[in-house]
Amino acid sequence: MDGITQAVENLKKEWGQAVSQLDENITAIESCGKTGKGIEEANSLPRLNGSAQDALQLLKSLQFQLDLLAQQLPTFDEVQSGQATLKSWDEQYKKTKAGMTSVAESITESLRRSRQMMVQEVERSASTLATFGIHFH
At 62-74, the pLDDT tens digits run 999 999 999 999 9
Distance CA 28, CA 60 (A): 22
Residue type, 90: D
* pTM value surpassing 0.85: no
Q: Which CATH number fits domain 3-131: 3.30.360, 1.10.3470, 1.20.58, 1.25.40?
A: 1.20.58
Least confident of 3-12, 32-41, 122-131: 32-41
Distance CA 120, CA 70 (A): 59
At 84-117, the pLDDT tens digits run 999 999 999 999 888 888 888 877 787 788 788 8
Contact between 103 and 30 under an 8 Å Cβ cutoff? The reply is yes
Distance CA 121, CA 86 (A): 52
Distance CA 69, CA 5 (A): 8
